[in-house]
Amino acid sequence: MDWLNAILQGTLLGGLYALFAAGLSLIFGVMRLVNIAHGDLIVLSAYIALSFGVSLGLNPLVALLLVVPTMALIGYALQRLILNRTMGEDLLPPLLVTFGLSVILQNVLLMGYSADPQNLQAGAIETASVTLGPLAVGVMPVMVFVTAVVVIAALQWMFYRTALGRAFRATSDRQDVAQLMGLNRAHIFGLAMALSLAVTALAGVFLGIRTAFDPAAGGARLIFGFEAVIIGGLGNLWGTLAGGVILGVAQTIGAKIDPGYQILAGHIVFLIILALRPRGLFPRIDG
């Protein structure tokens, strides 16, 4: 029964990882950009929620109403002012610029909030749980998982059923021809980053409620998100959710064997899948 519990907890944890990954997947899909600062932006969201909590006395879940648009704005500005200048054939500039951004963010947070671990207090909901037969399931993890499913379904719908999604796909296919259709690439990229960081805001707040975080916590989150994307298969959003779940289950089972193996087990499962299925478990079938 312990093992079943571990698998269940891991599955729910996978929802959080899918939220880490969805934003990463989105901007890669639209503009082939890999944002090394993605994890630090997740942590930044948690700190913004913390500040809203302190200054306005908001529950972090309510603060989301402010954190999501704030992060979206930051994303749009970041893309238009800095990242758009690096977009092109050469992979090095965006990589190194987002890497520099990552270091800057970590140290700005260090200056503003010190290295002490922080926590977001969401109240009674944090400890609430329901019993399913022999298993106890936390309300919060279930909420996170459901949010992840809803976010991915919404992104999927946006991508394939809306004008914005059409514009994203067209720009991803052929940037210059999309420009001929009257789509301003710089603006489209800005919107993609805004959307990515809006999802990041959800991920950051849920992370902050679940565990303590500090300014250096971003790197691991980037890695978890990245592993979920690769396990699931590049460009497949539902695959990303599956990838998050596989990673989460690997970690909780690893932790069950020995607490020291939690993270390591996740990495090892990732490397095994990379060795056996380099395109991920559910690669997108390209036309």
Sites of contact with another protein (CB under 8 A)? 33-34, 36, 82, 85-86, 91-97, 99-101, 103-104, 107-108, 110-111, 163, 166-167, 169-170, 172-174, 176-185, 219-220, 222-223, 226-227, 230, 234, 260-261, 263-264, 267-268, 270-271, 274-275, 278, 287
Please identify, using beta-carbon distances, which residue of 128 and 186 lies nearer to another protein.
186
Q: How far is the CB of 169 from another protein (least distance, A)?
A: 5
Write down the least CB distance from residue 43 to another protein, Å: 15
Phi/psi class of residue 43: alpha, beta or left (left: φ > 0; alpha: ψ in -120 to 50)?
alpha
CA atoms within 13 A on the CB side of 279: 7
Q: Which is nearer to another protein, 142 or 274 (CB)?
A: 274
Q: Of 102 and 147, which CB lies nearer to another protein in the complex structure? A: 102
Q: Is 233 left (phi over 0), alpha (psi -120 to 50) or beta?
A: left
CB of 175: closest distance to another protein in angstroms? 10
Q: How many CB atoms lie within 10 A of CB 279?
A: 11
State in angstroms the smallest separation of the CB of 160 from another protein.
Answer: 9
| CA 204 vs CA 22, 51, 136, 214: distances in Å | 13, 13, 25, 12
Write down the H helix ranges in 82-161: 92-113, 139-161
Three-state DSSP at 182 gives: coil
Distance CA 201, CA 41 (A): 8
CB of 163 to another protein, least distance (A): 6
CB of 277 to another protein, least distance (A): 10
**Residue (138 or 219) nearer to another protein, CB:** 219
Nearer to another protein, 4 or 91 (CB): 91
CA of 118: how far to CAs of 24, 97, 103, 235, in Å?
Answer: 25, 28, 20, 34
Q: What distance in Å separates the CA atoms of residue 212 and residue 207, rounded to the nearest whole number?
A: 8
Distance of closest approach, residue 125 Cβ to another protein, in angstroms: 32
Q: Tell me how crowded residue 29 is: count the other CB atoms within 10 A of its CB.
A: 21
Q: Shortest CA distance to 220 belongs to which of 10, 24, 40, 9?
A: 40
| Residue number, 198 or 230, with CB nearest to another protein | 230
| Closer residue to another protein, CB minimum distance, 66 or 187 | 187
